[in-house]
Amino acid sequence: MKARVHVMLKEGVLDPQGEAVRHALDSLGFDGVEGVRQGKVIELDLADGTSEARIGEMCEKLLANTVIESYRIEVL
């Protein structure tokens, strides 16, 4: 079984990496990009039958800093 966890900074949290990407796109001539939010994707290979709740526990304890990040679980 596979799962994908999408982790993003919460709204209102400054994203310096996203801002750096936005500036780089602008300097490369890609105008019109008003904002960029950067996140990460974590792919997990799991034992069959692993529950989404268990994956949520993994996120809460290690994979995401829930003070400043939100996450979304996608079971594949």
Average predicted confidence (pLDDT) for the chain: 95
- Tell me the residue length of the chain: 76
Return the CATH number of the domain spanning residue range 2-75: 3.30.1280.10
User: Can you tell me the distance from the alpha carbon of 9 to that of 29, in angstroms, rounded to the nearest whole number?
Assistant: 26
Q: Is the dihedral of CA 56, 59, 62, 66 positive or negative?
A: negative
pLDDT for residue 66: 93
pLDDT tens-place string over residues 11-43:
999 999 999 999 999 999 999 999 999 999 999
> What is the Cα 2 distance to its own chain's centre?
17
User: Can you tell me the distance from the alpha carbon of 76 to that of 67, in angstroms, rounded to the nearest whole number?
Assistant: 27
The pTM score is: 0.83
Average pLDDT over residues 7-12: 94
pLDDT for residue 76: 92
Average pLDDT over residues 52-67: 94
